[in-house]
Chain A
């Protein structure tokens, strides 16, 4: 105890002291950054090829220099993909599919999130009779392959008189999004301290007041997550789109397939590339916008009440 003090005043000449130096080219750095570079190249090179090809004329595409930068940049393939490409009888490009997809996307996302969040809240906070059974059935639904239900759903939609319409597809997306979204919301609401819920009940708030005034404002992050999940899922859906709609009401993905896979005439690679990028743009934008919101939402939620 006493002999510590003299040591503290001695200059330290024996061995390391202070911050440990970090070499730039250590094995660890090389492995980590090497892997990261490799993975980003794996994703970015195809994207690069798509973008440059979409900006080339067909003559240049035929030269076969896939990686070369376009000599004269042209936006004609983009215009054609958006407004002129033909699928079947319609020759108004992807614009029709885009409109259909938006028409399907917005109500599907809103409806599924509204219903699922109320479901999750009821399951998490109001222990009603049969809640566990209801939840088990719902989760079981998440594991049934969609193919099994394709035809029965066709019959149901036909009987409801909405087969082949966008409304029908909205209903299908809402129902099929329910298991996973309900699970998501239930788990989040379960993590909200039960005492807050109890305090609100003592304060005289009912089912809806607690949901709208207490639970929802506390749950921005999970709503953002749900929006990301649903927007990308519904926008990228092909199976339901192709089965439950007609050419007039095809969503963008189905139309993209029809443009790219058309067997008549020459393959216009530049138009195909432009069309593909256009179709993928919406989920990409959602990621960029909500990604930031998402992080902010989590940070805001992390402050303990």
Chain B
């Protein structure tokens, strides 16, 4: 599998503010990549740089083994879908789809063929003669995807395409996008701040913060082996629990507890130990009978309960830190109740106290 997009040492500054800092990204052919991060992390900026809509300060961008650093957006072989759909309001759907093709001076027969194919894939044949104003949000986004589709390009760029839709429609279109990707097998780069979208769609996720990529790996890897504390905290809902302490002699010690770290996979730098954060996801903490089977067990006092439907989130205190875990909805817990909890340290994550990298 060849390389589809390669971003090399990309720097983008607005005046003295560096928005993207020597960023590198390699995307393989046919991959679905999600750029994930909170607002202001530079994910949309990176997408705009790849599209050629922003002039970069330093570095290179290669698409399909071609250096497109100075190329116009139209010459980069990309199609782009925007959050606000960005349909041309005065043109019909057909006009919207054909606008780019007419600019390429393609013959009319070819334009009609491509529109027919895109309309078929996206099931918007019935809408072709309507104006965008007469379409619903989901239909508009479909047309916007169609506009990228007819361009017959290798790379699709999505800039938070589902953020303007309501929750149900978002879930539906998410599945459709995944199907579309399976069908077309194009390279897709998708920007979002929604971690569910990222987890479900991506082959690989790039988590960004402050113009840098914090981790670039598969959703599974990011979830189970986050590379640093930021990623660990950002991914997962409810968020990971963190306990402060020290790693020494194959165990983690903190205010009165010692957690054995048998089965934990250390990174090369981690084995040395030292001051550390111990992170464990709420969903990996077992209670009651299941806790008995866990390598580490303890008893905590319930502080607060938040019923969330299928499960109840319980807040408790462990080693003087806020600590939360999930229990079955049927379990009726009250403030002050004692609960025995347990977890497997092999599923935990340890981070150096200083640089917050995984250990």
17 contacts between A and B (CB under 8 A): A193-B84, A195-B86, A196-B86, A196-B88, A198-B80, A198-B82, A199-B80, A200-B99, A201-B53, A201-B72, A202-B51, A202-B74, A203-B151, A204-B74, A204-B104, A218-B88, A304-B133
Which of A196, A202, A205, A305 has most chain B Cβ within 10 Å? A202
A115 and B266 CA atoms in complex are apart in Å by: 68
**Known pairs A303-B133, A305-B133; A202 contacts B80 (CB<8 A):** yes
A198 and B78 CA atoms in complex are apart in Å by: 13
Residues in A neighbouring B73, C-beta threshold 8 A: 198, 201-202, 204
A interface residues, how many (CB within 8 angstroms): 19
CB atoms of A209 and B88 under 8 A apart: no
Interface string of B88-130 (1 = CB under 8 A from A): 1110000000011001100000000000000000000000000
A303 and B99 CA atoms in complex are apart in Å by: 21
Residues in A neighbouring B43, C-beta threshold 8 A: none
CB atoms of A202 and B78 under 8 A apart: yes
A213 and B99 CA atoms in complex are apart in Å by: 9
Residues in A neighbouring B37, C-beta threshold 8 A: none
Q: Which residues of B contact A (CB under 8 A)?
A: 48, 51, 53, 72-74, 78-80, 82-90, 99-100, 103-104, 132-133, 147, 151, 159
- Is A34 in contact with chain B by the CB < 8 A criterion? no
CB atoms of A305 and B74 under 8 A apart: no
CB atoms of B89 and A305 under 8 A apart: yes
**Known pairs A196-B86, A202-B79, A217-B90; A305 contacts B132 (CB<8 A):** yes
Residues in A neighbouring B133, C-beta threshold 8 A: 303-305
Residues in B neighbouring A305, C-beta threshold 8 A: 85-89, 132-133
Q: Which of A190-242 contact B (CB under 8 A)?
A: 193, 195-196, 198-205, 209, 213-214, 217-218
Q: Which residues of A contact B (CB under 8 A)?
A: 193, 195-196, 198-205, 209, 213-214, 217-218, 303-305
CB nearest to B135 among chain A residues: A305
Which of B78, B83, B100, B147 has most chain A Cβ within 10 Å? B100
Residues in A neighbouring B159, C-beta threshold 8 A: 195
Residues in A neighbouring B90, C-beta threshold 8 A: 217-218
CB atoms of B100 and A198 under 8 A apart: no
Residues in B neighbouring A201, C-beta threshold 8 A: 53, 72-74
